[in-house]
Amino acid sequence: MAYSMGDIYQKMTSSGRRQFAVLADPDKLTNSQAETLAERCNTAEVDYIFTGGSLVMQYRMEEMVSVIRRHTRIPVVLFPGNVLQVTDQANAILFLSLISGRNPEMLIGRHVEAAPILNKSGLEVIPTGYMLVESGALTTALYMSGTIPVPRSKPDVAACTALAGQMLGLQAIYLDAGSGALQPVPPAMIAAVKAQVHIPVIVGGGIRTTDDCLNACKAGADIVVVGNAIESRPDLIAEFSRIVHTSPLL
């Protein structure tokens, strides 16, 4: 399907149901694995395929995204750790400002470098407030960003941060415990953020079990993202997708 500018955000805001995104790691997938993943996502009716990472070793994002796009109509959304991960083979990009941190490079610096590249690309740009949440591990995202996360026990801090992001005009909030998190984002924090903002709340990091997935949905996540867990157990793609899609909106 050819998407027009604005279609992906429209899908995020008006689908009328909770949505499920699979995170495809460009370092871990061969072309044939990317093909298989795309086909599994088709069968499971996954809503988005996100791709990117805080640190990517092999810069084959463009190739992997092209392979995925050839095998699915599911929108591919970049979730980049840096400007080198930008490819206009994708449909959209989460333009992440790390609002939980106080590192100016992650708040606006890298964005200045990326802006002219994105302006020339055909990518739909979705301004996103990215918030790292304490997860029991020093994740790559935390280390690479040089920031401290929102403490797990402080849902109010998360809620006020998300609200400020919305007031600044950001169009989505991404609450991330980070890939490889020991614990996912606490449901109380998801609920506190959801109560404050009307923009989509994306939640990921450390979601491994169907209970983790269900808890994120019940707390109000609009889009649930899973990466690691489905790498070792691809059968979970269909299971997570079913849970997310059947969990009623609050």
- Residue 205 touches ligand 1GP, criterion: CB under 6 A: yes
Residue written as tokens 């599994």? Answer: 40
> At 162, which amino acid appears?
A
- Residue 180 touches ligand 1GP, criterion: CB under 6 A: yes
**From the CB of 55, what's the least distance to ligand 1GP, in Å?**
12
Q: How many residues bind ligand 1GP (CB under 6 A)?
A: 15
d(CA 62, CA 139): 25
Residue written as tokens 């026990």? Answer: 153
- Residue 234 touches ligand 1GP, criterion: CB under 6 A: no
Give the containing element (helix H, strand E) for 29.
none
Q: Is residue 176 within 8 Å of 145, Cβ to Cβ? A: no
**From the CB of 116, what's the least distance to ligand 1GP, in Å?**
26
d(CA 132, CA 214): 21
- Residue 134 touches ligand 1GP, criterion: CB under 6 A: no
- Residue 127 touches ligand 1GP, criterion: CB under 6 A: no
- Residue 228 touches ligand 1GP, criterion: CB under 6 A: yes
**From the CB of 217, what's the least distance to ligand 1GP, in Å?**
15
Closest CA to 117 of 95, 98, 97: 95
> At 197, which amino acid appears?
V
Closest CA to 155 of 130, 175, 140: 175
Binding mask 11-50 for ligand 1GP (x = CB under 6 A): ------------x---------------------------
Nearer Cβ to ligand 1GP, position 98 or 225?
Answer: 225
> Contact positions toward ligand 1GP, by CB under 6 A?
23, 176, 178-181, 204-207, 225-229
